[in-house]
């Protein structure tokens, strides 16, 4: 019997963008069970609290029945072990992403040799998107429609 594929797609998702959702859907299609987890990083100044980011992800992935949305603190590999994940998904937009993600993948492999890290590239229409750029556009009153789901656009308008 083939091994059950339990995927984990971690990130800050502050806020979740259509690029994140594109990667999540691609990962979802590969897995038997898919976890999307918000990293609760106290050293980063987040726009949205962890609980709201979790809720936004739940709303934007409700059409994907085998997705579990959660949050975690601490090491990614420890959380992966906790949920029995055997594959971690990361999105790559540019060469600069690759260098950081490659280093993290090597560290994670040394800490948890049985987990695989898979890099996915988003659809080209989302390749330039980042949560930081979306926050900046929204803060300056720009239109973020098409870059984020409607529920996230509404949340950004509320904040700014």
d(CA 93, CA 22): 12
| Neighbour tally for 132: CB within 10 Å | 11
Q: Catalytic annotation on 20?
A: yes
- Choice among 59, 81, 93, 109 that is catalytic: 93
Residue with tokens 């994940």: 85
Catalytic residue among 3, 44, 63, 158: 44
Phi, psi dihedrals of residue 117, rounded to the nearest 5°? -110, 125
Distance, CA of 10 to CA of 158 (rounded, Å): 25
Query: Which residue among 53, 90, 131, 135 is the active-site one?
Result: 131
CA-based nearest residue to 130, from 11, 8, 7: 11
d(CA 70, CA 55): 9
In the residue annotation, 44 being an active-site residue is answered as: yes
Active site residue 63: no
| Active-site residue, from 12, 20, 90, 112 | 20
DSSP character string of 101-144 = HHHHHHHHHHH-TT-EEEEEPPPGGGTT--HHHHHHHHHTT---
Catalytic positions, please? 20, 44, 93, 131
């Amino acid at each position: 019997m083939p091994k059950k594929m339990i995927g984990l797609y971690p990130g800050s998702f502050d806020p979740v963008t259509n690029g994140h959702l594109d990667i999540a859907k691609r990962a979802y299609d590969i897995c038997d069970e898919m976890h999307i987890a918000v990293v609760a990083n106290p050293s980063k100044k987040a726009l949205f609290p962890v609980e709201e980011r979790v809720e936004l992800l739940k709303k934007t992935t409700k059409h994907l029945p085998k997705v579990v949305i959660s949050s975690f603190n601490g090491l990614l590999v420890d959380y992966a072990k906790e949920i029995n994940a055997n594959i971690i998904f990361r999105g790559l937009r540019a060469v600069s992403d690759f260098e950081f993600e490659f280093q993290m993948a090597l560290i994670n492999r040394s800490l948890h040799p049985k987990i695989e890290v898979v890099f996915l590239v988003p659809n080209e229409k989302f390749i330039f998107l980042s949560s930081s750029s979306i926050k900046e556009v929204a803060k300056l009153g720009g239109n973020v429609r098409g870059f984020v789901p409607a529920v996230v656009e509404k949340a950004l308008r509320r904040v700014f």
